[in-house]
Amino acid sequence: MIASRITGRHVLFGLLAFFGLVFAANGAFVYLALDTFSGLSTEDPYQRGLAYNDTLRAAETQHALGWKVAVSAAALDGGRQRIVADFADRRGAPLDDLTVAGTLRRPAQEGYDQQIALARSAPGRYTADATPPLTGQWDLVLHARSSAGQSYTLEERLWLK
């Protein structure tokens, strides 16, 4: 029986093969990571970070209003959806003097955003019909402004059928 000896050359080739495989795998992962979702979920994140104190003040002002908002969506024929938002003040009285607009956003895919304008349909109730191209999860961002200049922003995740 002939015994083979492990020489320095064998160890060198083994180490080179091992680290070559590790670098190739890491290179493939880096390429795939950079070629897919960018991870950017907000426009101008640096500027928004600098204005974070303004965001906190606006949230405190909105919370002080005490408005209560309930949002729902109902499927209509032809793929249409009826978006309903009920606005009430802190005592539960309906808010009738609002201008309400919003955006329907697809959270996982870009290019499907839709602007909607909600019209008053009953005391404190604002509705709009939209025709999203896909069913599933959507983010609704509503902006309401009263005739007195008070503003309210709401973000709600909806499941559209």
Q: Based on the number of CB atoms within 10 Å of its own CB, is 151 exposed (0-12), middle (13-18) or buried (19 or more)?
A: middle
State residue 68's pLDDT score. Answer: 92
State residue 40's pLDDT score. Answer: 65
Q: List CB contacts of 104: < 8 A, sequence separation 6 or more.
A: 83, 113, 114, 116, 130, 132, 138, 139, 140
State residue 85's pLDDT score. Answer: 92
Tokens of 114: 């839709």
State residue 134's pLDDT score. Answer: 84
| Three-state SS at 155 | strand
State residue 39's pLDDT score. Answer: 66
Torsion of CA 85, 88, 94, 100, to 10 degrees: -40
State residue 126's pLDDT score. Answer: 93
Strand order in the sheet with 68-75: 68-75, 81-88, 125-130, 114-122, 98-105, 136-146, 151-160
Q: Based on the number of CB atoms within 10 Å of its own CB, is 146 exposed (0-12), middle (13-18) or buried (19 or more)?
A: middle
- Segments of the chain with pLDDT less than 50: none
State residue 144's pLDDT score. Answer: 92
CB count within 10 Å of CB 143 equals 14
